A and B are shown apart, each in its own frame.
Chain A
Amino acid sequence: MSTDSNTKYVGKAPSRVEGPLKVTGQAKYSAEFSVPDLVYGYVVSSPVAKGKIRKIHADKILALPGVIQVFSHENVPTLAWFDRSYKDDVAPGGSPFRPLHDDEIKFSQQPVALVVAETFELARYAASVLEIEYEQEKHATDVEALREKGQEPGSGKTGYKPPVRRGNADKGLSKAEHRIKQEYIHGTQHHNPMEIFGATVHYHPDGKLTVYDKTQGVYNCQQYLKKVFGLSADKARVVNLFMGGGFGAGLRPQYELFLSVLAALELKRSIRLSLTRQQMFSLGHRPHTVQTVELGTGPGGELLGLKHKAVHETSRFEEYTENVVNWSGMLYQCPDVHLEYEVVPLDVFTPLDMRAPGAATGSIGLEVAMDEMAYEAGIDPLEFRRRNYADRDQNEDKPFSSKKLREVYDEGARRFGWDQRKMEPRSMREGNKLVGWGMAGGVWDASMQKAAAKASITADGKLTVSSAAGENGTGTYTVMTQIAAETLGLPMEAVTAKLGDTTLPEAPVQGGSWTAATVGSAVKSVCEALGEKLLKLAQKMDDSPLKGAKPEDVEFVNGLIRLRKEPRQSVVLRDVLQVSGEREIEADSSVMPNPLNMQKYSMHAHNAVFVEVQVDEDLGTIHVTRVVNVVAAGRIINQKTARSQVLGSVVWGISMALMEETVMDHRYGRYMNHNYAEYHVPVNADVRDIEVHFVEEEDPHVNPLGVKGIGEVGLLGVAAAITNAVYHATGKRVRSLPLTIDKLL
């Protein structure tokens, strides 16, 4: 690296700036803030899926010394009345669940009471012996049995796009030389971030609250508190400095927020409330989905017709939607496409966006079907995809702002050694292990939201940038620091990034892979605004070589402001600050997506995944021995954290393919394996070689940073590629995930 580019950080691989806090246990998660005179809450959950609460016998436990209160629908104060008060930024259509609202039970594990006591041990004990009588009614929880009852959703939630259709898929299929039609199913999944949901509410002597909540959106939670409890913004500060994983689980305000704030307000005391791992299976889930895919090809392997239908459950009170089938209309070129999407209301809690919602599901259906089609047509699966490459987004009939999927295919195939693959299933082995190679891929929206940021620099050259975004492991602090440092030519050590606090400028919920694009753009914009102020101050200095220069004529590099054309003409930024006599210089800014570009272009990230599995011929045990995941997602700001995101996505894909499923006992309408032992996720020994590679795209249209986001795209195709590899290894096509041994033998 030349000394000339010391402060060029974007695109490099600096370590996480918050790393030292995390590895030493000093990073504070929501249930860890130390607040004086805490009381503790413990939630009691309904064992029935549908019915009524007849009686809560709170008196017995209230008699225990140290038990302070039992909150339930029997004593909850009057709160906001209208549904809209309970709707958060990302709520789907319908009527949001209100904790402790009335005696009605709508889903198993519904919170029915909050026990508050002087210690955690006491609250937990008292909750365990609280006697409650329920009237049980008949429930329905089985989406597979009720799939015919599906209906096209009405409005759905923000971002939901009703499936598109074009041409005549039946006609297209009827002309096909080869055809397949199959059904694909995967079970319910729960986000299960490592940190348990919890909140610490600090009740200040003046009645103001500081709410440390586990959430992906502090502003979203504050809005909720304002509307539901009628609190003003200055009375309800919501903070989340670190989140022990979200994956979507913290997109909506969860019930620990409602319950802890309720108790704090009623008791006028500070409270800590942590849910249990078991209770985290009542916070929303990736729905159990049944998909049907039909494909047909012409003589050259070209797709002539495509049909994709998906059905999954929603709750009885909200209409949860995700875009499952839409991707099938845009990933490959096809003239005749019919996409269908339905939801079935059941007696379960409303599903909730979980990493790559919709796309992760849809890519299983489409990408396994594509493999089946390739075999039916006798074409190599990668070659088959190349032959059906979409140069335009046919769903929207728009060009892509950038798309390097061809390069992704080439790079992935080369790194994996795909050309050594024999097409024939069961044709490769190592000892008693059947070896299989499979591939798949996917597409995800590159989006950006509205966000604001603030920057301030002090006389000693220390810069602080802030925006109320979230950090749940994605590297937000680091990315903000890199962009700020580079924009103002400062070393990263001179920059402090602040986030996750409603006293900071507003940012959207952390989701949809839009944080880097959104908050990154806001940070860049605010640092540029600050830079303009600094330039003006620099020009006021005696003999300033920058006199008359416009902002676009200068650059901030290595602690200098210098002329782009004559880099020797420069001033030292520190001197500017000292001479100015100002203690602190501030700037504010906000950014929005460019509607013109959005109208003109289809903006998407793509990936392709190549997988090797080894299957024990006798036992049916499957090991994913090698994965190459190549991603094209615009510009990569931090190679290190971006790689980790994709590595994590691969682990998630292994999990989806082979392990993860929440199993419902339909007799009780209750999840049976709602704990971390029986809800299987990969451990270290399940993970072998994973190689991540980025094909960078120059994309001037997508946002000022050229960033598309990588939180979700890396997951796409992983589960399908594993499924396809297992077919290649064994000759057995399994169409129901997770692909457990029993399905293989």
Chain B
Amino acid sequence: MSTVSTTSAADGQLRPLVPPSPVTLRINGQDHTLQLAPWTSLLDALREYAGLTGTKKGCDHGQCGACTVLVDGKRINSCLTLAVLQEGADITTIEGLGSEHALHPLQQAFIDHDAFQCGYCTPGQICSAQGLINEGKAQTEDEIRELMSGNVCRCGAYVGILAAVKEVVDAKR
């Protein structure tokens, strides 16, 4: 029999925490001033503080893509950046792309091609697809498959996702 101990801080002392402070984020064209601990991720800021739960958490470690948002038009994993680092940036989430009665072309294409099942990876897929379109690189099916591979879909809706993204990419040409 051996003893295992999970230890706290190296010297056994817990440092006083840095208190939350106001952070202003520009999300979907609107400023939100939130009281955040400095180590709050952009993802948690969106979901827990700004009330925008369309952006999903699938791993919190940059491994799944569910948390993809657009920052100044570029797709990023919002779990891998701190909210404070995005002050001044233009953040677009799924809520900013379209709404139930004014769907974005990607959103419509995802519905038409049944490019999801549970829908949990979907906002990330759609934001990622918009990022891919902004990059202007992917044209062929293989390129789209490759460049959409940062977004896991455990339901396995890849055939539909490819069809939906391809349709919108083609329409843009």
Contact = CB atoms under 8 A, between A and B. Distances in A.
A245 B114 contact: no
B157 A274 contact: no
Given A23-B126, A125-B17, 13 more contacts: A20-B107, A24-B100, A32-B47, A57-B8, A136-B3, A194-B64, A194-B154, A648-B156, A652-B156, A675-B61, A676-B61, A676-B63, A684-B161
B42 interface: no
Contacts of A25: 52-55, 93-95, 123
Interface of A: 15-16, 18-29, 31-32, 34, 47-48, 51, 54, 57, 60-61, 63-65, 119-122, 125, 129-137, 192-196, 242-247, 274, 276-277, 472-475, 640-641, 643-645, 647-652, 675-677, 681-687, 690
B8 to A, nearest CB: 4
Given A194-B120, A685-B149, A131 B156 contact: no
Interface string B34-72: 000101100010011001111111111101101000000
Contacts of A676: 58-59, 61, 63-64, 152
B44 A23 contact: no
A277 B59 contact: yes
A193 to B, nearest CB: 6
B100 A644 contact: no
21 contacts: A15-B112, A18-B119, A20-B103, A23-B98, A24-B107, A54-B3, A64-B17, A131-B6, A134-B3, A135-B2, A135-B3, A194-B154, A196-B57, A244-B119, A473-B117, A473-B118, A640-B114, A650-B156, A652-B156, A681-B154, A687-B159
A243 to B, nearest CB: 6
B9 interface: yes
Contacts of B111: 15-16, 19-20, 23
A121 B159 contact: no
B2 to A, nearest CB: 5
A462 to B, nearest CB: 18
Contact of B100 (A26, A31, A274, A681): A26
Contacts of A685: 142, 145-146, 149
A349 to B, nearest CB: 19
Q: Per DSSP, are chain B's interface residues mostly helix, strand or loop, or mixed?
A: loop
A621 to B, nearest CB: 15
A687 B146 CA distance: 10
Given A64-B17, A647-B159, A648-B157, A23 B103 contact: yes
Contact of B116 (A23, A119, A121): A23
A445 B120 CA distance: 28
Nearest to A32: B53
Nearest to B144: A684
Nearest to A27: B119
B119 A473 contact: yes
B94 A24 contact: yes
B120 A684 contact: no
Interface string B73-107: 00000000000000000000111011110010001
Interface in B130-171: 142, 144-146, 148-162
Contacts of A132: 5-6
Contacts of A60: 8, 14
Name the interface size band of chain B: 35 or more
A23 B66 CA distance: 13
B158 A682 contact: yes
A488 B37 CA distance: 55
A196 B58 contact: yes
Contacts of A682: 156, 158
A24 B58 CA distance: 17
A277 B61 contact: yes
Nearest to B126: A23
A721 to B, nearest CB: 16
B77 to A, nearest CB: 12
A363 to B, nearest CB: 18
B4 A242 contact: no
Given A121-B39, A685-B146, A29 B120 contact: yes
A492 to B, nearest CB: 14
A15 B112 CA distance: 6
Q: State the 5 A-B residue pairs at the shortest beta-carbon distance, nearest first.
A: A25-B54, A651-B156, A244-B120, A473-B117, A22-B119
Contact of B6 (A130, A276, A641): A130
Contacts of A641: 114, 117
Contacts of B63: 277, 675-677
